[in-house]
Amino acid sequence: MDDCCQARAQEIEQAHGAFGRVLWVVLAINAAMFVAEFGAGLVARSTALMADSLDMFGDAGIYALSLYALHRSARWKAGAALAKSLLMAAFGLVVIGDVTLKIAHGVAPSAPMMGGFGLLALAANLTCALLLLRFRAGEINMRSTWLCSRTDVLANLGVLVAAGLVAATQSLWPDVAIGLLIAGVFLHSALGVFREALGQLGAGAEAA
């Protein structure tokens, strides 16, 4: 029994070590893409691109939180996941505010810039998702990180759809619609992680 427990402990430690190395890589990718995509969103006047860039920025912070919680207790991990959910929700609300401003000004974004940077962001997030794929069934810190990555890929696909529709219609409304959809995905994912984190914190309090 002792040998079995020791082997399991070593297995968990190895998983955490591998997860930590992957987190550093995806953190760097998201930080670099935030700078590139946010600048492109400003130039292109695209709500969808700016929403996606803010998601990149939020993810960089989320991955940093995951690294911080990696070798801490289950309660710390649940607390980090709770912080992630609040950060995701905050960015969803920021996007909704940007949509409101875009509607007031009524300026259509640049479809070619949206498409080009949307493809670049999709490639970056697919890379991150593939790197995190093997950790999707781990503890809450790992699962919530994988969920963020999966959400990013969906947001990127939304940006590409918006770029195509803007090019076809020369209207700002596809960009606005996709921006709102991305905000909705942020908020939905944030709610799911928030509920699970609260459950973990409650279970930890009862066990204490």
Q: What is the CA radius of gyration of the chain?
A: 19
Give me the pLDDT at residue 19, please.
75
Mean pLDDT of 126-135: 82
Of 178 and 203, the one with more pLDDT: 178
46: alpha, beta or left, given left = phi > 0 and alpha = psi -120 to 50? beta
Predicted TM-score of the model (pTM): 0.70
Give me the pLDDT at residue 200, please.
72
Query: CA-to-CA distance for 86 and 146, rounded, in angstroms?
Result: 16
Mean pLDDT, the chain, integer: 77
Q: Are 114 and 44 in contact (CB under 8 A)?
A: yes
* DSSP conformational letter for 172: S
State percent of the chain over pLDDT 90: 15
Q: Are 80 and 69 in contact (CB under 8 A)?
A: yes
Of 191 and 164, the one with more pLDDT: 164
Give me the pLDDT at residue 1, please.
43
Of 115 and 138, the one with more pLDDT: 115
Domains and CATH numbers, the chain: 2-207 (1.20.1510)
Give me the pLDDT at residue 111, please.
92
The string of pLDDT tens digits covering residues 52-107 is: 887 788 778 777 777 776 666 667 667 777 777 787 778 778 788 878 877 877 77
The one-letter amino acid at 6:
Q
HSE value, Cβ hemisphere, 13 Å, CA-based, for 26:
32
Query: CA-to-CA distance for 111 and 43, rounded, in angstroms?
Result: 11
Mean pLDDT of 143-154: 72
Give me the pLDDT at residue 165, please.
93
> 111-115, 132-136, 160-164: lowest mean pLDDT where?
132-136
Give me the pLDDT at residue 144, please.
65
Q: Which pLDDT band, with edges at 50, 70 and 90, does 7 fall under?
A: very low
Q: Judge residue 46's burial from the number of C-beta atoms within 10 Å of its C-beta, 0-12 exposed, 13-18 middle, 19 or more buried.
A: buried
> 8-12, 102-106, 140-144: lowest mean pLDDT where?
8-12
How far from 18 is each of 2, 23, 79, 112, 148, CA to CA, in Å? Answer: 24, 9, 22, 38, 18
